[in-house]
Amino acid sequence: MKRLILYIFFMMFVLNLSPKSIVHSKHNLSATGTGDIKASGTNMICMFCHTTHVPGNSKGPLWNREKSNIEYILYESSTLYSTIDQPDGATKLCLSCHDGNIAMGQILKGPRNISVKNTDGGRLPQNRHSNLGRNISDDHPVSFDSSHAVSAKSELKHPHSGDPVSYDGSGKIQCTSCHDPHEDVFPKFLVKTILNGDLCKTCHDFNGYSGISTHDVSTASWNGMGKNPWPYSDSSSVMENSCQNCHHPHNAAGKERLLSSRADSQVCLVCHNGNTGSDIKSEIEKIFSHKVGNFNNIHDPEENILSASIHTQCVDCHDPHKANSSKAAPPYLNGRLKGASGMTIGGSIVSEAQYEYEVCLKCHGQERYNNSDLVRMNQNPDLRVAFQPSNSSFHPVASQGNGNYVPSLRNKWNSSSRMYCTNCHNSNNSRKNGGTGLDGPHGSTHEYILERKYIVAPSMLYQQSNYDLCWKCHRPEIVMSENFSIFKYHKKHIDEENTPCSVCHDPHGSQRNPGLINFDTSTVFPNLNSELKFEIIGNKGYCSLQCHGEDHSPKDYER
């Protein structure tokens, strides 16, 4: 007993020396505590959790509280690879206060029902972030053995020997794996700093994230406008917040994967509204855009691309753990798309796309996503079909073009060039287009999310600006020339008869005809012989059709 008393006095002396000990923390519920929740009638600190002995009490470590006998609603997710049971061990003891079920002054030995100020009938107030309640499905899972998950997913790992993050005696993750209830050295009693995601990275190890991903290295900070993107953090930059930019370990609004918002898109847009990160919000609010706000909570990381409900979400194209600022040349994807899944030109699903067009084909390579209002002579059910290298002609997205004579190309292009989908589908004020906005098909003032103007409506008076998208790569003085154009009647059709480029040309590809010839059947009809076709015989092209009030049965021209 003498030794125990000496030990107690020694520990009290040591605790009082440390400014970060329980004595100077919110866990000191005695009248000497520094928090606003504290007792008014006792200076005893340890008894709110511990006692020297309670007959028949086998709960360690010398526990002085009843365990909550409620059944908790547990965390669930399609990306959870462990079996979680009801809380046990140290977690059960922590929850005796933090689930708001038992009065904080209700102890087994000592003064009974100690009055504690600023509580809800002695219980932790419900509006406190630290009150986890019975529903812990919005909190990091606890009381489980992670061995199976670590074996199943390469992005998970065990803490190394001697790390402050550790398992309990049964090899389980508990509240005490991340929190030390006796020392508040790091905020919220964490066992190590959460700055730069250090705590999270102990167990979560995403390839391409640490020191590489923009979300781990960006020094961007909140400008103070609009909603605070980090309401529960004292850190001031994207880099410092790291994992906390998107995830909340407790009381997460988006329960699955502990996201910071219930709406998928808002997880990204709370920063990407121009107040912290790049302004994507303004782009997707344009009339023509990928409407991510229309499809919240539909995307799932484990979804089957071919059968999942039609949707478009930020994470369909961007992997927030791997996205970075690295550059690339066509057809390779740049760092912003790094880690995104895709579909090959052959129709195979790949977990990580290699080429930009594979990310696009993930949706646009499926017929059910094809919402074009133009019906073609030879209809392409999806863009994967339109870009096939075996087609007669195509824009060189999935492979090098098969035409050797394209006299109208501007100097930066030639017949062996490759191009991105985003050379055409891009923000109208993108940097690539000479503006100050973002690159990428987030939104545009032009139909089909096009970077520049491209008119498809027939009978509109010709203006060169109406086809700015075409003239980005092709020289109008060549296309409209009777002497140098591969089709000398371009000027007659486009300028004199106000025929849009889209009436004759399919901008993605034509399975059967060179020169992207694939007539729009709302304007071009079968001729009087019921023929609708284009063919090349020798050095001449032959059009069999009916258009602008004239019958071609057929009409030919020299190439």
For residue range 72-87, list pLDDT tens digits in order.
999 999 999 899 999 9
User: In this structure, is the dihedral angle defined by the CA atoms of residues 3, 5, 8 and 10, taken in order, positive or negative?
Assistant: negative
**Within its chain, how far is the Cα of 241 from the centroid?**
17
* Cα separation, 280 vs 274, whole angstroms: 7
What's the pLDDT at 6? 45
CB 516 within 8 A of CB 393: yes
pLDDT recorded at residue 19:
64
Cis peptide before 554 (omega within 30 of 0): yes
- For residue 363 the two structure tokens come to 């949706």
What are φ and ψ of residue 343, in 5° steps? -130, 130
- Residue 427: the pLDDT is 97
Strands 393-394 and 509-510 come out as antiparallel
73 vs 134: CA distance, rounded Å: 6
The span from the CA of 154 to the CA of 335, in Å, is 21
b/e for 438-452, b at 16 or more Cβ within 10 A? Answer: bbbbbbbebeebbbb
Burial class of residue 268, CB neighbours in 10 A (0-12, 13-18, 19+): buried
Separation CA 264–CA 255 (nearest Å): 11
What end-to-end distance do the CA atoms of the chain give, in Å?
A: 108
* Alpha carbon distance 32, 36 (integer Å): 11
* Secondary structure of 9-36 as H, E, C letters: HHHHHHHHHCCCEHHHCCCCCCCCCCCC
| DSSP structure string for 141-169 | --SEE-HHHHHH-TTB-PPPTT-SS---T
Cα 544 to Cα 534: distance, rounded to the nearest angstrom: 6
- The token duo for 446 is 């032009």
Residue spans per domain, the chain: 214-277, 464-558
pLDDT at 7 (0 to 100) = 40
Cα 122 to Cα 111: distance, rounded to the nearest angstrom: 14
Amino acid 55: pLDDT = 60
Cα separation, 348 vs 115, whole angstroms: 66
DSSP structural state of residue 209: T
Could you give phi then psi for residue 334, rounded to 5 degrees?
Answer: -85, 180
The predicted pLDDT at position 54 comes to 67
| pLDDT < 50 positions in the chain | 3-15
User: Residue 549's pLDDT is what?
Assistant: 85
* Structure tokens that stand for 409 in this block: 């190309």
Supply the pLDDT for residue 60.
Answer: 66
